[in-house]
Homo-oligomer: A and B are copies of this chain.
Amino acid sequence: MLSRSAPRVRSRDFYSLFRSACLQQIRLHGQSTASPRIFPPTINELAAAPLPEDEVTVTGWVRTVRKLKNVAFASVNDGSSGANMQVVLKHDQLEGLTTGTSVQITGRYEQSTKGKGQQDRELKASNVQVLGASDGETYPMQKKYHGAEHLRQNAHLRPRTSSTSALLRLRSKTMSALNNFFDTQSFTQTHPPILTSSDCEGAGEVFSISTSTSSPKGAKDKGGFFGHSTYLTVSTQLHLEALAHGLGRVWCVCPAFRAETSLTNRHLAEFWMLEAEVAFVREQGELMTLTEEMIRHVAKGLLENPTAAAELAPYASPTAEGNDTKIDLPSRWRGLARDNWTRMSYTTAVNHLQHAVSTNLTSFKFPPIWGHALQSEHEKWLAGEFVKGPVFVHDYPASLKPFYMLPSLPSNTVSEGATVACFDLLVPEMGELVGGSLRQHDAAALESQIEKAGMKAEEMAWYVELRKWGSVPHGGFGMGFDRFLAYLGGVENLREVVAFPRWAKHCKF
């Protein structure tokens, strides 16, 4: 049964191979000493390493059991990847091994003998220990197909499914890639506040906080715990601007909150935002380049990952055509990895949209009109049909955008002050993924923009003060992190990429 093709290594050597791989990874991150490995190799790591000479012990959850005449097979998953370990068992080792059971199995890890499906390695069990039984009759996560709503109702058990765990691993890998990207671009990672007395967007759909009246201690405060109204942040941008005025280039991935009552699959009450803010930037083009390179870096990482596509493919949504074909993830990632994304002004975009209508190339529910917001159907057509890839649309009318943006440079086509130096990144099938702009850095001009927007000057005084001493041209962008993951994973509903999604009437657990 011993494979001749793959060399085996003794356990001691196996662990040292492991250690040196980790050492190498850490070394080039700027640190010369590696931490020792604390826990045993995962199933994912065993699958990629040379075959060990001695027996190994793995732990995980049983996904499926298949009983043949003389032998049985169990698929065991430990959460380290989408690939299960195939375990070969004798019939008398099967006791208690139902879907969901947690097990510890010792045995020889070998090249598969022929004719046993797609697994090229398998564990021949010498010892099987059930750690936690799982009653097949009552377990809500059966191997059969479950609808998304059933899975969300059992969000506490959902990480045990292949689909949710694959999307949660995608989240983790994306976080690592982003950390790495911003490190190499000399950005400082920050944690702006979640509780705030400022309402960044002036949109009003905010959550307020109070100390619980059922609390034994916190109930006596006048004006609340903080002495005034306090909200959960809707965006960290204003605070990030303050940080950029000292640290230069800053970024964060932080939770943000909106009490949105609309129930689309693209909105959550609690969501994570990636935001970046850069001092000493004079053109929004530089910010578009930053956005483009950041997303390209993540996409290239996924394309280079040998297992990412296979792991995520089964859970991708059907294509827009509505047939059974699923979104082709590597093709989507290649679209993001391509160089030189298209950039066009809002004015040009509206011209293209109007031309497409007038030549019967397409039709829209909402007519595209200069000065009106681009509708989702417009955004999807621009990225999906017209450009067939990611597209930056820049210099939107000032009336469509928040108070803090810098007016565009004067041009021939648009009158001065009519548009602002901003951009949205549109991607096929999803529409808007990122929004960014240069910020008004002149104190007097900002004050007049605040007044024009009908906001309270005294609440914004600290923000204006950033411009009073040592102001700098600056700008940044925000990306819905969950939305980015949904796009990378090809799933339509943001609720699938979030461990415990929260939206109106839904905050179970």
Contact = CB atoms under 8 A, between A and B. Distances in A.
Contacts of A177: 31
A208 B219 CA distance: 11
A502 interface: yes
Contacts of A466: 156-157
A147 interface: no
In the complex, the count of this chain's copies comes to 2
A184 B28 contact: no
A472 B227 contact: no
Given A42-B248, A164-B246, A499-B243, A139 B469 contact: yes
A322 interface: no
A184 B25 contact: yes
Interface string A28-48: 111111111111001011000
A26 B168 contact: no
Interface string A450-474: 0000000000001101111111110
Contact of A230 (B161, B206, B441, B507): B507
Contacts of A213: 208
Interface in A459-504: 462-463, 465-473, 498-500, 502, 504
Interface stretch (A96-104, A374-382, A394-402): A96-104
What 9 pairs between A and B have smallest CB-CB spacing? A159-B246, A132-B471, A28-B28, A79-B248, A79-B247, A226-B507, A134-B469, A160-B246, A193-B500
Interface residues of A, number: 151
A297 interface: yes
A209 B193 contact: no
A239 B500 contact: yes
B198 A207 contact: no
B175 A297 contact: no
A286 B38 CA distance: 7
A25 B25 contact: no
Interface stretch (A272-280, A313-321, A325-333): A272-280
Nearest to A199: B212
Interface in A72-113: 78-80, 100-102, 104
Interface stretch (A288-296, A354-362, A383-391, A412-420): A288-296
A412 B424 CA distance: 67
A194 to B, nearest CB: 5
A227 B505 contact: yes
A259 interface: yes
A406 to B, nearest CB: 14
Contact of A102 (B140, B192, B472, B507): B472
B227 A38 contact: no
